[in-house]
Amino acid sequence: MELSIGKLPDKLKAATASAAKSVGVENPPVWQNTQEVATINLLNLPSLCLFLDHVAKIEGFKDSNQALKSTRLKNLPWWETSIWLPLLFDPRPEPTVDSLGSRSFLGSCPGLISELEDIQKKSDLDLGVTPPGYEEMRAAPEKTQRSGFTLHGDHRAAIQWVWKGLYDGAQLALRNSAPMIGFS
C-alpha cells in the first residue's frame, strides 16, 4: 500500500466532497486544493494484512476479516482504497466515496491518529520505533521502491513500519490541511 498525502486525483475530488457531506462535513475547506505533500510506502499488501491481523488480535478477534465486521477502530485501512480527511468526524463503517463504479472508505486523520495511539498502548511490538530502512524510504520513496528493498527480520518490523507510516502520514496530512489516500 502506498499513502499519498496532498492532492486528490481529480476523479476522486467530487466524490470525496459528496461523501464528506454525507458524514456532516459541509463546504469542504482547503483540503480540496492542496498540492502534493509526500508519499509514504507501506511496503506491500501482506505487510498491511499483518498489521491489521495484529490489531484484530489486540481487539480479541481471530483475524482482520472478523474484526472488519465488529471493530471499534473505524479509521484503519480495512478497505482496498481509503481516503482520510484532515478533519474530525465519525466515519461510516462501509465505503462511502463512489467514483467511476469504485467505492472507497472515507476516514478522519485525527480519528486515525487516536486509534493508532490506542493500538500503540496495547501492543507488545514497540510500535512507534523506526524500523530499518524506514528513514531512507521517507527521504527517497521512489529510489527505495526501485531498489528492490526487502525488510529483513520477523513480522515485528513490518507491523512497526505500517504503524509508523500511517501515523506519520496522518500527522503530515493534519499539518498541511491535506487529504491522505491509501491504495492497496
pLDDT of residue 28: 62
Q: What angle do CA 167, 161, 124 make, to 5 degrees?
A: 90
Q: From the first residue on, what is the mean pLDDT of each consecutive set of 10 residues in the chain (184 residues)?
A: 89 83 74 83 90 96 90 91 92 79 88 98 97 89 62 84 98 95 86
Distance CA 114, CA 77 (A): 14
Distance CA 1, CA 110 (A): 20
Q: What is the predicted pLDDT for the residue at 95?
A: 84
Cβ pair 31, 85 in contact under 8 A: yes
For the entire predicted model, the pTM comes to 0.91
8 Å CB contact between 179 and 13 = no
| Contact indicator for 178, 9 with CB cutoff of 8 Å | no
Q: What is the largest CA-CA distance in the chain?
A: 47
Q: Considering its fold, how many domains does the chain have in total?
A: 1
Note down the domain range covering 135: 2-183
